[in-house]
Amino acid sequence: MDETDVLDQIVEHPLVLAVMDRLLKPNYLLSQLQVIDIGPGEQAQHLHPDDGFYPNPRPRSALSVAIIVAVDAFTADNGATVVIPNSHRWDDHLPTPAETATAIEAQMTPGSILFFLGTAWHGGGANQTNRSRMCVTAQYCQPWCRTQENFSLSVSIPRAARSSDNMQRLLGYSIHPPFMGFVNGMHPKRLLDITE
Ligand SMILES: O=C(O)CCC(=O)C(=O)O
């Protein structure tokens, strides 16, 4: 078992994929997968949109969608993620102090999921407690975008071969029509057949 196998069930949870199916084009990709632990006394993270590194000017449709799954309860004082409502519609400006003041905390019970578009301004909150606040976060992007983590290099072909069809698709064993993602002129899943 690899270290992140346990997270597959979150990445490909039917509820999560159902939302991604609505918001992204077929054969969207897993862009990033992380565990984030905000320790006691940590200051609030700078607010940011997750897909800001794609240079296309705003306002625009989101090129990615994020989930944050609470492992610990998210509370007002332990670093719950804060999100600025409607900021996914903004142009390229930075949040003003008045806009920053409208950010709301995503208070969640363990196991709850926060979904937000990659264009939405958000950040980890300040942890004013003496216990850490852990979450699992994943980002999914349009099938024509470059992913943040290069999963086609970091996940071995044998490991991909024993993953589910959904995971294989999310890791890049898929084609965005007419032929983005091909390998040697063939569908990339052919690589997995050869391994088997
Ligand atoms: O941990 C969180 O609440 C948010 C983290 C985040 O937005 C990030 O690391 O980009």
Ligand 1 and 36: CB distance under 6 A:
yes
Q: CB-based burial of residue 141 (10 Å sphere; 0-12 exposed, 13-18 middle, 19+ buried)?
A: buried
| pLDDT score at 91 | 98
56 alpha carbon to ligand 1 midpoint, in Å? Answer: 22
What backbone torsions phi and psi does residue 133 show, to the nearest 5 degrees?
A: -120, 110
Render each residue's pLDDT in the chain as its tens digit; 196 residues.
455 688 999 999 999 999 999 999 999 999 999 999 999 999 999 999 999 999 999 999 999 999 999 999 999 999 999 999 999 999 999 999 999 999 999 999 999 999 999 999 999 999 999 999 999 999 999 999 999 999 999 999 999 999 999 999 999 999 999 999 999 999 999 999 865 5
Q: Which helix (H) or strand (E) holds 153?
A: helix 151-154
| pLDDT score at 107 | 98
Ligand 1 and 133: CB distance under 6 A:
no
Cβ atoms of residues 118 and 51 within 8 Å: yes
| pLDDT score at 3 | 54
123 alpha carbon to ligand 1 midpoint, in Å? Answer: 5
Query: Which residues contact residue 185 at a Cβ distance below 8 angstroms, ignoring those fewer than 6 apart?
Result: none
Mean residue pLDDT of the chain comes to 96
Map tokens 């609505």 to a residue: 22
156 alpha carbon to ligand 1 midpoint, in Å? Answer: 27
DSSP tag of 74: B
| pLDDT score at 1 | 46
69 alpha carbon to ligand 1 midpoint, in Å? Answer: 11
- Atom 7 in ligand 1: which residue has the minimum CA distance? 123
What length is written for the chain?
A: 196
Cβ atoms of residues 121 and 94 within 8 Å: no
Cβ atoms of residues 44 and 77 within 8 Å: no
| Cross-strand pairs, 49 | none
